[in-house]
């Protein structure tokens, strides 16, 4: 898989925007001074409004400096950031026509209404300030009818974009975007997306077609990170038809979909088109090569497909062509002209193919080059070594083997380099003299031995260092590294000893699946800004270091499948207020779970399965209102069923398997109304000491997420730290000595397992209303009565196990209509009568599905049926047959999604030394 380290910005660089804005202000100011009579001050009402606006900002060092010239009794037209124009009420004083407060670092709880008293405003810039997640006022902008330039970007606004902005018919430039930078590494299990933004809050535009309809004079439109998902495919035609003068369209991260419409060909003035990181589909239209003014084309990270015309690459004025991460597009690179202006050419992770032309050396202005497409073949042309301006190079998956070409050392401007998946066996020695490198990815090669000592000392700071998936055996440096790095990935090597931790302000540290045996001492100062820390699948022993308790930015901690022992410190669960995912699965932790979790708990997933934890579940978990995944399976917890957890509205996975839970489940009068889990999709109570009847009919009726699907959530259950990374939740479901680990939990997967308990009584018919259920296991209990015919309504059911109970009666004919049923076990009950005949599904099940039912007859059993309803069956030795509930075909859930599974026959789940599963 190819990867690329890039620094991406909106189609017009931020510094250029600021320079343009400053130039605009200077023009306004000079024009005003040229024609306005000397000595005419600003209007008093304008000065008063500005002073009220000033007071709405918090007093900080930034505001004190910024507003130093804003003093009562002085001419507001001379205040910093304020511009006045001639003829704007000169008799009573001049009116304010421009207000430039952009990038001042101001803080406020919202826009003060005083702003809208400046009705002569033509230019307004409040960008790069902090409005604290407030909403843009719904009323007020309609008063600013002269406004031509509005910039509210990267200022922390949230909520809906007010319709009043769409009524500003004089607007020429509109910027509501959030500035971003990206450093990315694609990975099947762990997708890293570092996007440094001023704020992480999104705006929403629910009706883009209506919003844009009156903005007929618009030339520049920047809506990056504004949620436009409701617009469907209409966004494209709406833009072209409403704003024919558009020169810049920048809509990255807007959740727009559909094809790139042909009507965009009408925008002959279009100079920049930035649609990266959306859900666009269909082909890349050929008309883009005919837009003679087009200089920036960013379509990366979409779902585009089809052939890309070579003419697009030859478009004379294009400076940027970014098509990477569109796996469905194909094409070949043309011969490049010497007069090409290309500065960025990015086609990695596409299906582009053919030879890379040597004429690529003609691109003398090229700064970023990504050729990481698996279809390219042949040698890399040495002419790339002539590209003196090149600062980022991605050549992953191009068939490069052995040492790097010698000409790479000629790229003296190189600051970002990707070789991943190139079959290299040695660390590139020329990098020792590349002092300006700020991004390096050598992952998934065959480099062995020790990481060079100089690699930690050559670069004082590097944004990313990816060395995962090699054969390194030693870090080659002291545990506390001198290098400062944002993202360090050493996972999937053979490294031993103490885990190395870089100094400074790292955000993501990955050490998974190595042989590390210890943590360095006194490393808390190195965790100041760490949000992701993953050291799963190592051999680390001893207590969990208390340094993690002082990591105030930590959001995800995965120490699963190690040898940690001792108890879980209370500070780990109540002091790290930012911690959202804690995975301690598969260690040797003992004692009880801390029960002093504070209000405001951030946990989204808590996995402590496969340890030696005792005692009761901590009732203080009710403070964790965002908890979605709770897994304490394979411990020694002795407690009753946690009805009290029903107060957690988002709880979807409840895994209590293989503990010492006891008593009834939701049977008392009190519990009936206080034990509802409407969000639950996975309930695993197997191998405990639960007793009494199964929960009553009304309890199953409350499992709403097992009845109704939701389309407004992501398909895979995961946790995303904005601008840092995505972590996929996993869970293990077991059946009589076998274990199946789902490395990705689909939200469509619905599962109930109450096997190996002491439940008795009948099976509630309301289970048949859980129509999204994929697997149901009630085996090894003392259930009696008939199999409810209502189970025939479970059209998604793929696995049904009711073996080793005392069920009686006939097998309902309705079960024969379950089209997806692949696994069936009704053995060792008291069923009788004919197995449903002429059923295409029942005919595929072997006799072991029905063994131990003396009264059953008919195929696939060898005993035929007579006219009587109860026939004798030759008894067989009662040797229960264990059937694995899920095979790879059975895990499709009817959706065709491939899910990695691990089946560990007869091996206890907590024996990590033999079978180790990554919780990714």
Give the per-residue pLDDT at 719.
65
Domains and CATH numbers, the chain: 472-477+486-857 (3.80.10.10)
CA distances for 881 relative to 675, 780, 822, angstroms: 35, 12, 16
Residue 574 has pLDDT above 50, yes or no: yes
Local structure of 281: helix, strand or coil: strand
CA 776 to CA 825: how far, in whole Å? 11
221-234 per-position pLDDT tens digit:
999 989 998 888 89
406-453 per-position pLDDT tens digit:
677 677 777 767 786 667 788 888 788 777 787 888 888 888 999 999
End-to-end CA distance of the chain: 18
Give the per-residue pLDDT at 711.
54
* Residue 915 pLDDT class (50, 70, 90 cuts): very low
Give the per-residue pLDDT at 495.
95
DSSP strand pairing (501-503 vs 480-489): parallel
Percentage helix, strand, coil for the chain under 3-state DSSP, each rounded to 5: 20, 25, 60
DSSP strand pairing (344-346 vs 320-322): parallel
Place of tokens 């209303």: 769
CB–CB of 548/581 below 8 Å?
A: no
* Residue 860 pLDDT class (50, 70, 90 cuts): confident
Give the per-residue pLDDT at 398.
60
Burial of residue 627 (CB within 10 Å: 0-12, 13-18, 19+) is: buried
CA 632 to CA 685: how far, in whole Å? 11
Burial of residue 38 (CB within 10 Å: 0-12, 13-18, 19+) is: exposed
Residue 189 has pLDDT above 50, yes or no: no
Listed in sequence order, the residues at least 6 apart from 134 whose beta carbon sits closer than 8 Å to its beta carbon are: 108, 109, 110, 111, 156, 157, 158
504-551 per-position pLDDT tens digit:
778 889 999 999 999 988 888 888 889 889 999 999 999 999 999 888
* Residue 34 pLDDT class (50, 70, 90 cuts): very low
Give the per-residue pLDDT at 777.
94
* Residue 240 pLDDT class (50, 70, 90 cuts): very high
Tokens (6 digits) for 182: 């990206």
Listed in sequence order, the residues at least 6 apart from 788 whose beta carbon sits closer than 8 Å to its beta carbon are: 763, 764, 765, 767, 768, 812
805-816 mean pLDDT? 93
Give the per-residue pLDDT at 763.
95
Residue 190 has pLDDT above 50, yes or no: no
The continuous run of DSSP H or E covering 44 comes out as helix 44-55
The winner for highest mean pLDDT among 193-202, 289-298, 437-446, 705-714 is 289-298
776 vs 403, residue with greater confidence: 776
CA distances for 36 relative to 28, 32, 93, angstroms: 12, 6, 10
CB–CB of 144/119 below 8 Å?
A: yes
Give the per-residue pLDDT at 315.
86
CA 657 to CA 634: how far, in whole Å? 6
Beta bridge partners of 124: 99, 150
Burial of residue 284 (CB within 10 Å: 0-12, 13-18, 19+) is: buried
CB–CB of 58/108 below 8 Å?
A: yes
Tokens (6 digits) for 431: 């990098």
CA 222 to CA 399: how far, in whole Å? 39
Q: Which long-range contacts (CB under 8 A, 24 or more apart) does 612-619 make?
A: 612/588, 612/636, 613/568, 613/589, 613/637, 614/590, 614/638, 615/591, 615/639, 616/592, 617/593, 617/642, 617/645, 618/573, 618/593, 618/594, 619/595, 619/644
Local structure of 384: helix, strand or coil: helix
CA distances for 855 relative to 37, 760, 761, 809, angstroms: 109, 21, 21, 9
Interior/surface letters 701-718, b for 16+ CB within 10 angstroms, e for the rest: ebbebbbeeeeeeeeebb
Residue 382 has pLDDT above 50, yes or no: yes
312-369 per-position pLDDT tens digit:
998 889 999 999 999 999 999 999 998 889 999 999 889 988 888 889 989 999 988 8
Q: How many CB atoms lie within 10 A of CB 265?
A: 16
Q: How many CB atoms lie within 10 A of CB 467?
A: 25
CB–CB of 581/554 below 8 Å?
A: no
Residue 739 has pLDDT above 90, yes or no: no
834-847 per-position pLDDT tens digit:
988 766 677 788 88
Q: How many CB atoms lie within 10 A of CB 261?
A: 19
52-82 per-position pLDDT tens digit:
999 999 988 888 889 999 999 999 999 999 9
Nearest CA-CA partner of 621 in 588, 660, 669, 654: 654
- CA 172, distance to chain mean position in Å, is 35
């Amino acid at each position: 898989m190819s990867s690329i380290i890039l620094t991406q910005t909106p189609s017009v660089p931020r510094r250029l925007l600021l320079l343009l804005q400053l130039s605009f202000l200077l023009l306004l100011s000079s024009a005003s001074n040229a024609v306005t009579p000397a000595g005419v001050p600003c209007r008093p009402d304008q000065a008063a409004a500005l002073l009220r606006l000033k007071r709405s900002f918090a007093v900080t060092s930034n505001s004190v400096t910024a507003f130093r010239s804003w003093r009562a009794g002085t001419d507001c037209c001379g205040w910093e950031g304020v511009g006045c124009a001639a003829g704007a009420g000169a008799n009573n004083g001049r009116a304010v026509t421009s207000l430039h407060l952009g990038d001042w670092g101001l803080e406020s709880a919202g826009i003060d209404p005083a702003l809208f008293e400046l009705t002569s405003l033509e230019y307004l810039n409040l960008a790069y300030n902090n409005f604290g997640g407030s909403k843009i006022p719904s009323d007020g902008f309609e008063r600013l009818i002269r406004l031509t330039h509005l910039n509210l970007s990267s200022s922390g606004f949230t909520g809906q974009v007010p319709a009043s902005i769409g009524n500003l018919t004089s607007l020429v430039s509109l910027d509501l975007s959030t500035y971003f930078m990206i450093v990315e590494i694609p990975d099947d299990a762990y997708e890293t997306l570092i996007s440094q933004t001023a704020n992480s809050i999104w705006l929403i535009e629910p009706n883009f077609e209506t919003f844009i309809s009156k903005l007929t004079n618009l030339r520049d439109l920047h809506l990056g990170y504004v949620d436009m998902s409701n617009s469907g495919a209409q966004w494209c035609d709406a833009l072209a038809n409403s704003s024919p003068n558009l020169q810049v369209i920048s809509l990255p991260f807007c959740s727009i979909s559909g094809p790139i419409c042909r009507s965009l060909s009408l925008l002959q003035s279009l100079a920049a088109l930035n649609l990266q990181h959306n859900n666009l589909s269909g082909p890349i239209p050929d008309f883009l090569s005919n837009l003679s003014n087009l200089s920036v084309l960013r379509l990366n990270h979409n779902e585009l497909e089809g052939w890309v015309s070579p003419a697009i690459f030859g478009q004379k004025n294009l400076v940027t062509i970014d098509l990477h991460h569109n796996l469905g597009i194909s094409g070949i690179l043309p011969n490049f002209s010497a007069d090409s202006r290309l500065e960025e050419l990015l086609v990695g992770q596409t299906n582009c193919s053919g030879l890379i032309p040597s004429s690529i050396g003609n691109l003398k202005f090229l700064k970023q080059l990504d050729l990481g497409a698996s279809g390219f073949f042949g040698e890399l042309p040495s002419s790339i070594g002539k590209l003196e301006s090149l600062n980022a190079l991605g050549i992953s998956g191009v068939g490069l083997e052995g040492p790097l070409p010698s000409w790479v050392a000629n790229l003296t401007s190189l600051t970002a380099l990707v070789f991943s998946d190139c079959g290299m066996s040695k660390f590139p020695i020329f990098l020792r003299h590349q002092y300006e490198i700020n991004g390096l990815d050598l992952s998934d090669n065959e480099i062995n031995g020790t990481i060079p000592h100089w690699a930690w000392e050559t670069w004082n700071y590097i944004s990313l260092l990816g060395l995962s998936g090699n054969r390194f055996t030693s870090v080659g440096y002291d545990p506390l590294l001198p290098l400062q790095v944002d993202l360090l990935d050493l996972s999937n090597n053979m490294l031993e000893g103490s885990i190395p931790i870089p100094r400074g302000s790292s955000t993501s540290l990955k050490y998974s699946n190595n042989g590390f045996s210890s943590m360095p001492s006194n490393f808390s100062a190195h965790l100041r800004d760490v949000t992701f820390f993953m050291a799963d699948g190592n051999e680390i022993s001893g207590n969990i270091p208390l340094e993690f308790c002082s990591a105030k930015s930590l959001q995800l901690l995965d120490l699963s499948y190690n040898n940690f022992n001792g108890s879980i410190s209370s500070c780990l669960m109540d002091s790290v207020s930012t911690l959202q995912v804690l995975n301690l699965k598969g260690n040797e932790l003992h004692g009880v779970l801390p029960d002093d979790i504070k209000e405001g708990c951030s946990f989204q997933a808590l996995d402590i399965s496969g340890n030696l934890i005792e005692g009761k579940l901590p009732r203080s978990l009710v403070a964790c209102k965002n908890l979605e995944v709770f897994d304490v399976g394979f411990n020694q917890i002795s407690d009753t069923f946690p009805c009290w957890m029903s107060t957690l509205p988002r709880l979807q996975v409840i895994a209590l398997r293989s503990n010492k839970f006891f008593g009834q489940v939701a049977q008392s009068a009190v519990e009936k109304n206080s034990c509802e889990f409407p969000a639950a999709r996975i309930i695993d109570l197997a191998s405990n000491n639960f007793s009494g009847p199964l929960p009553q009919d009304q309890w199953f009726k409350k499992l709403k997420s097992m009845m109704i699907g939701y389309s407004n959530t992501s398909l895979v259950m995961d946790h995303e730290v904005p601008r840092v990374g995505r972590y996929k939740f996993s869970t293990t479901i077991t059946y009589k000595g076998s274990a199946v680990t789902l490395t990705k939990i689909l939200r469509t997967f619905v599962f109930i397992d109450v096997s190996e308990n002491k439940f008795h009584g009948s099976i509630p018919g309301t289970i048949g209303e859980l129509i999204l259920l994929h697997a149901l296991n009630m085996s090894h209990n003392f259930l009696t009565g008939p199999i409810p015919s209502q189970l025939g309504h479970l059209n998604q059911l793929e696995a049904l196990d009711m073996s080793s109970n005392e069920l009686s009666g006939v097998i309902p004919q309705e079960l024969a209509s379950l089209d997806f049923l692949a696994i069936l076990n009704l053995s060792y009950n008291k069923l009788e009568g004919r197995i449903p005949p002429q059923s295409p599904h029942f005919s595929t099940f072997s006799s072991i599905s029905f063994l131990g039912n003396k009264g059953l007859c008919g195929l696939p059993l060898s005993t035929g049926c007579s006219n009587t309803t109860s026939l004798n069956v030759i008894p067989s030795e009662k040797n229960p047959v264990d059937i694995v509930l899920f095979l790879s075909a059975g895990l499709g859930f009817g959706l065709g999604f491939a899910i990695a599974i691990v089946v560990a026959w007869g091996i206890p789940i907590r024996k990590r030394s033999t079978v180790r599963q990554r919780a990714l």
